[in-house]
Amino acid sequence: MDKKFLFVPALAFCAAQALGSVYYVAVDGNDNAAGSKEKPFASLNKANAVVKAGDTVWVRGGVYDLNDTVYVKRYQMTAGIHLNTSGESDDKRIYYFAYPGERPIFDGANLPIGQACRHKGTIDSVMTTSPIVVEAKYLHLKGFEVRNTPMKCNSNSGIFLYASKHIILEEIDSHHNAGPGFFINDGASNGGGHLVLNCDAHDNYDPTGWQGDGENADGFGAHYQAPGDGDTTKFIGCRSWWNSDDGFDFINQEFPVVLENCYAMGNGYANFGLHNPPNGNGHGIKMGQSTLGGGHHIIKYCVAWKNKASGFYANYTGAGCTWINNTSYMNEDRSFNMASTSYDAEGNRTAPVVPLTGDNAHVLKNNIAFPNKNSQIGECWYKTDTEDKYVPCTAGENNTWNLKLDLTEDDFMSLDDPSLTVTGEDLSKIPGILGPRNADGSIPDVGFLKLKDGSRAIDKGEDVGLPFVGAAPDLGAYEFGIIKSSSSVASSSSADGYSSSVVEPVSSSSSEYGTTAIVAKPELSLPAANSAAIFDLQGRYLGTLQLDQQHDKSIASILRAKIKNPGIYLIRQGNRLQKVYVK
């Protein structure tokens, strides 16, 4: 079959002929306007009222003062922005994207908030309010900042997902909210299947909550999904720091969650690390409590350091989790704490603390604990109504504590990072592992906690079917000699365009843990697909690439060969959007 390229001048076709209509929102817009680039809407609420599956909304930069709310009847809360119009499939989403090169900021400082404290009621006695509430299917939000949500006596999340399915949240920064940065509530049937990619949640703090000072302001949370119901939610490349409660918390989540290439620092503190809220738990990455046995989560290639409590915490779950190639450094309580217990079929606790056994036991492989200070690993407290003793329990395989490796500074490229030394300042502005992200959304390339040549942690891991360099996998979150990125899925759109150093996932078919690893590629290749749509930076449809068997070539090389006009083009395949330079 011939390989064809169809190119149409920009003004000849509108985007609706390809993948739907294109709308614009701007701070100086008007909701009575046409929603065009020249006459944009003023709010995402207006865009939500007109969009259909396949449509794109470009959101221009600037500060959007959220000073009004709408009532979300299903959850009896209010929202500054309520997105409840759904897409139809992965290939026909509704896209809410920051306009290329611009940063939309949704500020909740003037948001009217719910005033009820301990009970739900009518619209006049709302308990909770969020700047952005998503109650839909197949949306993709990218490139936003959400901040300054206030509270009265209930914590208010920056972004709240409720009864939703297959939502993508990408490169969103949710900070200084009086509650969790991101709260995913999948308490409806067939929910889940979300992807939270390269997002940040930091400096969230709920000081006046009725449950206590700092009790509920996690960075990221996923909760209330029933066993066997829906699809797996994934957090990839996300960072969480200086949230008053925990960095990541999956309590009451009875369906597996995957956490990959994620980072948690300084949780349990507030006010840029200067304040220690008395009711904040302060765990970096916390699982459980799975009471019905469905919360078998996977945590891989993650890093937790300097959290007020444990770096990695099972939180008295009744379902064992899989912990692969993680690094825990200088957490104030334990590096890894696998505290677990047992529950009956109704979810009632049947013992204070017992180790999980058999197929339900925790799996721990190739992890670094620095120092080797753990709990409920190897020897576990076993306490029931009739027994109180210590018993042998799962110790894992090829972790620093199994191998009796007491690592030191000499095993790492660097143990120096602003997150360890700087308090009272906004770490998101300071170069370091928690500083400004790279153009493709990946984290800054720094040496912090990466192994150096000659480290005793190199080649000490167990082969679990993932790519590695050398005789065996290394310990910890970073494989020496393989370039890794937080952008470990290919569905992301680049914030700053195509680069010859783009990295993409390489799946290992032999991996029993379903992990993707990242290796260097000279150019991002086309995935298997029949066609790709081309747009200019104004969202205008320019034509279609008929790919056929060309997926072994890069998009950039095809466009360079076919397009005579230099410029920047947006290429969309399904929910994937790339920005490609043609010289």
Task: State how far the Cα of 378 lies from the Cα of 548, in Å rounded to an integer.
Answer: 54
Parallel, antiparallel, or unpaired: how do β-strands 139-142 and 503-507 relate? unpaired
* Residue in 173, 150, 327, 319 with CA at minimum distance from that of residue 239: 173
Asked if residue 289 has a cis previous peptide bond (ω within 30° of 0), the answer is yes
Q: Specify the pLDDT at position 27.
A: 98
pLDDT at 189: 73
Is 83 within a domain?
A: yes
Contacts of 421 (CB under 8 A, 6+ apart): none
Handedness of CA 448, 486, 283, 147 (dihedral sign): positive
Q: Tell me whether residue 357 is in a domain.
A: no
- Report the alpha-carbon distance of residue 245 to residue 552 in Å, rounded: 46
- Confirm whether 168 is domain-assigned: yes
Whether 25 maps to a domain, the answer reads: yes
Residue 329 belongs to some domain of the structure = no
Q: At which of 258, 285, 307 does a domain end?
A: 307
pLDDT in tens, 326-385: 999 999 999 999 999 999 988 899 999 999 999 999 999 999 999 999 999 999 999 999
CATH of the domain at 218: 2.160.20.10
**Minimal CA–CA distance to 315: which of 332, 338, 333, 336?**
338
In tens, the pLDDT along 372-419 reads: 999 999 999 999 999 999 999 999 999 999 999 999 999 999 999 999
Domain count, the chain: 2
Q: Shortest CA distance to 328 belongs to which of 488, 200, 449, 458?
A: 449
307, 340, 375 — which closes off a domain?
A: 307
Position 493 scores a pLDDT of 36
Residues of the chain with pLDDT under 50: 1-18, 484-528, 549
Domain boundary among 273, 307, 341: 307
- In this structure, is residue 169 part of a structural domain? yes
Cα–Cα distance list, 26 to 44, 105, 134, 376, 493 (Å): 9, 11, 20, 53, 21
Count CA atoms closer than 13 A to 184's CA, side-chain side. 30
Residue 317 falls within a domain, yes or no?
Answer: no
Q: What distance in Å separates the CA atoms of residue 241 and residue 264, rounded to the nearest whole number?
A: 6
Residue 571: predicted pLDDT: 73
Task: Bin 115: left if φ > 0, else alpha if -120 < ψ < 50, else beta.
Answer: alpha
Q: For residues 288 and 317, is the Cβ–Cβ distance under 8 A?
A: yes
Length of the chain (residues): 583
Instruction: Kindly state whether residue 526 falls inside one of the protein's structural domains.
Output: no
The Cα-based distances of 261 to 137, 430, 477 in angstroms read 25, 21, 8
For residue 543, the enclosing domain spans: 532-582
